[in-house]
Chains A and B, each alone.
Chain A
C-alpha cells in the first residue's frame, strides 16, 4: 500500500517552454501532497504544500507564478514549470501523506532537463 507514482519519469524540454509533471497516489486518497526539488548530491528542498481543492502554499523563495500547482482531486496533483530555463533543471519529487500527517510517501521522481 501507499504507492505514489509520477509521470513522466524524465523529460527534456527547450528553454521557454512549459512542462507538466503529474503526481498520483495509486492506492489511497491523499488530502495533502508535497513537491520537492533535489539538486545532485543534495538533500530534498520543499517547494510547496498542496491541499486538495485549495491553493498551494509555497515555501519562501519559490515563485508561485513559475511553479504552478494544481491539486484537482484526492489522488492527483500536478506541477507545471512555466517558461522553463536551464537553471530549472533538477530532480522533482512529490510525496503524499497517508494515514496521518506524520508519514510521507514519495514518488519515484521526475528528472527535468532544460536545454
Chain B
C-alpha cells in the first residue's frame, strides 16, 4: 500500500533557528497537508497544498508541493518555544482507496529557549 516517509523523526533546535522537515511518497499524491499536534490534542491544519510546485506560506511556516508530486517539505523560520510539538504530513491520492488521507509518522520538534 501507499506509504509516507517523514524525516527527521525528531529535532532539537535552539530558539531562533530555522527548521526543515520533509515527506516522500512511493506514489503520486494530489494533495499534501501539514498538521501540528500538541500533546493530548488533535492535529491542527497548518497548510494545504493542491498543485505540483505550489509554495504556500502561513506566517513563519512555508510548505511546498514537490514537482514530482511525490514529496513535500515544511519550513519554519525563526523558531519559538511554542513551535514545540509533533508535525505530521498527510497526502491524498484520489486514485487510491476512497481518496483518504495517509499520514506520515511525524516529526517531533523540541525548541530550547
Contacts and interface: CB of A to CB of B under 8 A. Distances in A.
Interface of A: 4, 6, 34, 42-44, 46, 49, 57, 91, 93, 95, 101-109, 111
Given A103-B48, A106-B42, A44 B92 contact: no
Interface residues of B, number: 21
Contacts, number: 48
A2 to B, nearest CB: 8
B8 interface: no
Given A102-B31, A102-B92, A103-B33, A109 B101 contact: no
B105 interface: yes
A108 B40 CA distance: 8
Interface of B: 31, 33, 35, 40-45, 48, 50, 88, 92, 98-101, 103-106
Q: Is the interface of A mostly helix, strand, loop or mixed?
A: strand
Contacts of B41: 108-109
